[in-house]
Amino acid sequence: MKLRCRERWLDLDHTVVMGVLNVTPDSFSDGGRWLDENAAVAHAAEMIQQGAGALDVGGESTRPGAAPVPEDEELHRVLPVVERLAEQFDVPISIDTRKLSVARRCVESGASIINDTLGEAAVRGMDEVASDTGAAIIVMHSRGSPETMTTLTEYADVVAEVAGFLRARAGDLERAGVAHESIVLDPGFGFAKTPIQNLEILKALDTILEIGYPVLVGTSRKSFIGKILDLPTEQRLEATGATVAWGVMKGAHIVRVHDVEPIVRVVRMIEAIHNPSAFSALG
């Protein structure tokens, strides 16, 4: 399987590890660390060296309770970074945003994937940005905004409702002219879901995969891990690795993570167990 990202194709035969690059002062895990442009580019280079096959750049925190960022400020944070990454590195660059103009400007500046975090608030304009530019688009399930999502966790059947939304959203994108091979589905772990609901979606990830598009798992350092294990953000690596391993075993095509090097090792080991013949040269 391959993902079409404008003029390039991203090979998904092996799970792609997508490195998170937050150029924000307030992201839940690494806010402020990569706000400086040079620091962001240096961290991107480090993640690529560690095995990241794609990078996801975000200029507005989507953590629960985060306040919205004005469009001009978000552009100020992300555009210079996207431009430099596209010039210097040969991996697809994703822009993580809820704003149409930010998505379009970043694709015009070198990004080739739109990580659309609008969820159920999705607007037709984002479909048109993807269709017009040929960018791949990740469609994520969420409800409300970062300020309201924790109050919107009532579902009759969380797996069925998330899968239904993603199926319908992908259909809307194709009707808007986005190629089937340019669409990725993200169940939205941590977005308008309780810890138990996140576990239920992970357990039933097959339901999302059966829709027929590549699937992204984004569980890295999420608060549901912290609540289940009573751990602060900086101590969630092993549990993140467990959720990633489960996702890869189920068939996830992309995993979005902060800790690239250890997660690449987890992913490759799971793949080796799943397909030992691919490593037959090892004896």
Pairing of strands 2-5, 8-11: antiparallel
- Residue 157 confidence class, pLDDT cut points 50, 70, 90: very high
Q: Which CATH architecture has domain 15-272?
A: Alpha-Beta Barrel (3.20)
32 pLDDT higher than 70: no
Determine the average pLDDT of the residues in 243-249: 97
Instruction: Give 100-128 pLDDT, tens digit per residue.
Output: 999 999 999 999 999 998 888 877 789 99
28 pLDDT higher than 50: no
This prediction's pTM? 0.92
- The answer to whether the CB of 262 falls within 8 A of the CB of 268 is no
Domain ranges of the chain: 15-272
Q: Which of 4, 99, 222, 236 is catalytic?
A: 222
Determine the average pLDDT of the residues in 156-181: 97
35's tokens = 């706000």
Instruction: Give 179-212 pLDDT, tens digit per residue.
Output: 999 999 999 999 999 999 999 999 999 999 999 9
205's tokens = 């990830």
How far apart CA 95 and CA 93 sit, in angstroms, is: 7
- The answer to whether the CB of 199 falls within 8 A of the CB of 214 is no
Catalytic residue status for 256: yes
Q: Which of 169, 256, 265, 268 is catalytic?
A: 256
29 pLDDT higher than 60: no
